[in-house]
A and B are shown apart, each in its own frame.
Chain A
Amino acid sequence: MLLTFKGRPVLPGNVTGVAVVSHGGFNTYASFFESIHGPSDEAICADSGNGDLFGRDLADKVICVPSSTGSTSGGAVWQRLIEMGNAPRAMLFSKAIDSLAAGGLIVADLWTGRRIVVVDRLGDAFLETVVHGDAITIGDDGGVVIRRTGA
């Protein structure tokens, strides 16, 4: 089964990946707190307040969230993850991107030369539809296709 959504490409790109989903706000600093200290293939979510993501590996995934929350210290995390090799492939926001996430992801993009694809304004229906493990295809026009494995 294929489900299609359209958002706004903030940092456009064509990429595919596996979805991990948070229905609550994504606390960037708390989530990646333990993933920024050295090169790693993993980025295990350390935010014990996020029941959807706590303990899941976020590296190389397509992270689907409503918006980001938490400390303004979280801005530098994205740049570090790219340098460490354990960044997600894409961030998909159901709401308009917030200043904390926008700033951090754009700085990381322009100052490392390596991109985490970002699409926002995908709508509540997107977050109500996507589940962990869905195969996601993102287009540089902000189109997002969910391919439900086994459906």
Chain B
Amino acid sequence: MSPDAAHAANIRLTPEEEDVLAGSEGPVLQRVMRTVVQYGEALGAERLVDISGDGHLVIAYAIPGIAPSLEMLEELVAAGLRTKYPFTLDPRPPLDYDNWALDAQQVAVLDGMYRDQARYEDLLLQLGARDADAYTCRPFLEEVGNTPKSGDILAWSESACVVYANSVLGARTNRNGAIMDLLCNVAGKVPLSGLLDDGARRATWRIDVKTADLPLPQLLGAAIGRRVLADVPLVSGLERFLSADLDAPTRDYLNEMGTACATAGAVGLFHVEGITPEAVAQGMDILAADHRTYVIDEDVLADLSASYPVLWRDRDARPEKCYLGCPHISLEQIEWWARSISAALSEQGQARIKVPTTLCAAPQTLARLGADGSAMRDLEAAGVMLSAGCPMQLFDNDLAAGSAIITNSTKLRTYTNARFFPDRRIVEILVGGDI
């Protein structure tokens, strides 16, 4: 027996899984199953469990090193394999150039980087992508419809989606990496380990939010993530401001907070006292006996914000561009931006904003926005561009390095040189044109 075979033998498989591992369904699915079994062994899983809901995968970009190779996808397709359930994916790259105010050099570079994107998306459709509009990092919005049920067993990737599915929807998924996410969904199996287990879902931190007002979710999440890293926090104090029935503003808030938690640390699950489902069901019993406590007040958040470096070539530059909607924002959030920008323009007697701005949302959200009318008209009149793409992908080359880009996103700030500002300050900058 090879060392690998001995290694894999420690996990307990069903007769059906053993058959697939022995090659009963062909050599490609055999290799898929072997990959998933070995993954389980590495994570210390005793067995595999069946995936029970749609997938969400991070691999939306046809760039080798970020996505599986075309050859690998073609091998899976040629073997007739597809995922057990349909899947959604992260947003498309920003190939709708008109919505990003790109110059010719940037367009040429992006054309080259994504020359295989159409073929790649065709292969993903054959492997189980839900449809041609399955690309967003807010798959759980009502209009998108990939909304897991409480208790669903999933193999999701994209840290922002994993943390929301676990925390707000009560589903169960680990932070799976690119490619392994696809292979688990093809096998229809995932190792029973980590956040799929009850024990790993107890809170080992209590975060005591003592601010007088509801803090910015992007800052609060970053403060939590930096402190707890990959641990599970129970956040207390937000019940003073947020709705216990998880209404739309509360869901938006928790989505932004969770994304920032996952970016600044590696948080895959949080609980919010009196609000998120497992915290409501278990009360304070959800706290591990030996948990630690971290108090967050206005001073903590101000210190965090002040610690963000300015990575622009010229720190005193006027902002060249603004990217909003990382993660993708909801219809209600878009309407807030439309109202706020229109009011600020009206106050200044101005027609249009002075900083080229792209606001990102799911294709289905943008379709609803168009059907509803007024917010879309206000944004277009103000000069705001709308896209279903992902601003992060503009930084996968050197063309945006050092540019004076502003954002309200902790995630974009962390992975790029974009400079972070709170939402209301962004509105002022867009209208005034400088900082």
Q: How far is the CA of A77 from the CA of B59 in the complex (A)?
A: 12
With an 8 Å Cβ cutoff, the count of chain B residues facing the other chain is: 40
The segment out of A55-63, A94-102, A126-134 that lies at the interface is: A94-102
**B180:A9 contact, CB within 8 angstroms:** no
Question: Is B177 on the interface with A (CB-CB < 8 A)?
Answer: yes
**B35:A75 contact, CB within 8 angstroms:** no
Question: Is B174 on the interface with A (CB-CB < 8 A)?
Answer: yes
Shortest CB-to-CB span from B92 to chain A, Å, is 15
Given the known interface contacts A75-B181, A103-B180, the answer about A96 and B157 at a Cβ–Cβ threshold of 8 Å is no
Cβ 8 A contact of B3, one of A73, A106, A140: A140
**A106:B180 contact, CB within 8 angstroms:** yes
**B179:A103 contact, CB within 8 angstroms:** yes
**B42:A72 contact, CB within 8 angstroms:** no
- Proximity bits, B69-101, A CB within 8 Å = 1, else 0: 100100000000000000000000000000000
Q: How far is the CA of A23 from the CA of B158 in the complex (A)?
A: 25
Given the known interface contacts A75-B176, A103-B179, the answer about A110 and B38 at a Cβ–Cβ threshold of 8 Å is yes
Question: Is B422 on the interface with A (CB-CB < 8 A)?
Answer: no
Question: Is B66 on the interface with A (CB-CB < 8 A)?
Answer: yes
- Proximity bits, A47-61, B CB within 8 Å = 1, else 0: 000000000000000
Question: Is B31 on the interface with A (CB-CB < 8 A)?
Answer: yes
Tally inter-chain residue pairs, CB-CB below 8 A: 118
**A102:B178 contact, CB within 8 angstroms:** no
Q: Which of A1-57 contact B (CB under 8 A)?
A: 9-10, 12, 25, 30, 32, 36-37
Q: Which of B181-213 contact A (CB under 8 A)?
A: 181, 183, 193-194
Q: How large is the interface on A (under 10, 10 to 19, 20 to 34, 35 or more residues)?
A: 35 or more
- Contacts of B44 on A, CB cut-off 8 Å? 96
Q: How far is the CA of A110 from the CA of B35 in the complex (A)?
A: 7
**A79:B180 contact, CB within 8 angstroms:** no
Q: How far is the CA of A83 from the CA of B69 in the complex (A)?
A: 10
**A102:B35 contact, CB within 8 angstroms:** no
**B35:A99 contact, CB within 8 angstroms:** no
Question: Is A104 on the interface with B (CB-CB < 8 A)?
Answer: yes
- Contacts of B4 on A, CB cut-off 8 Å? 12
Question: Is B266 on the interface with A (CB-CB < 8 A)?
Answer: yes
Question: Is B261 on the interface with A (CB-CB < 8 A)?
Answer: no
Question: Is A74 on the interface with B (CB-CB < 8 A)?
Answer: yes
**B159:A71 contact, CB within 8 angstroms:** yes
Given the known interface contacts A10-B42, A106-B42, A110-B38, the answer about A99 and B176 at a Cβ–Cβ threshold of 8 Å is yes
Given the known interface contacts A106-B38, A110-B35, the answer about A72 and B65 at a Cβ–Cβ threshold of 8 Å is no
* Chain B residue with Cβ nearest A74: B177
- Proximity bits, B226-267, A CB within 8 Å = 1, else 0: 000110000000000000000000000000000000000110
Question: Is A148 on the interface with B (CB-CB < 8 A)?
Answer: no
Question: Is A69 on the interface with B (CB-CB < 8 A)?
Answer: yes
- Contacts of A72 on B, CB cut-off 8 Å? 58, 157-159, 162, 175-178, 181
The CB with the most chain B CB atoms within 10 A, among A25, A32, A102, is that of: A102
Q: How far is the CA of A98 from the CA of B67 in the complex (A)?
A: 20
Q: How far is the CA of A145 from the CA of B25 in the complex (A)?
A: 42
Q: What are 23 A-B contacts defined by CB distance under 8 Å?
A: A10-B7, A12-B3, A12-B7, A25-B266, A36-B64, A69-B229, A70-B266, A72-B159, A73-B66, A75-B177, A76-B65, A76-B67, A76-B68, A76-B178, A77-B65, A98-B230, A99-B194, A100-B177, A103-B181, A104-B180, A106-B39, A107-B179, A107-B180
